[in-house]
Amino acid sequence: MTYDRLVCANCAAPVNEGRCPVCRANRERLQQENFFAGLSPMALIASLVVLIAALALLAHQTA
């Protein structure tokens, strides 16, 4: 889950704004837990395409 849709129970503000210490702590925790949370879907797709191309090239060279 990404933190951009979460609402803080302490201050009732979006967590990604970090208005209170609880928001800031949860935002930091979520960023550290989920490595791919900061990447856009297009960046994930592009990295997947590059990985598949590299694997195909490696398979072609070993055959």
Geometric angle at alpha carbon 52, from 47 and 53, rounded to 5°: 95
> Lowest mean pLDDT: which of 5-9, 17-21, 48-52?
5-9
| 38 vs 47, residue with greater confidence | 47
56 burial (CB, 10 Å; 0-12 / 13-18 / 19+) is: exposed
pLDDT at 51: 97
Amino acid type, 9: A
pLDDT at 60: 92
**The overall pTM is greater than 0.75:** no
Gap between the Cα atoms of 31 and 53, Å rounded: 29
Domain that holds residue 13: 3-62
pLDDT band at residue 34 using 50, 70 and 90 as cut-offs: low
Count: domains in the chain: 1
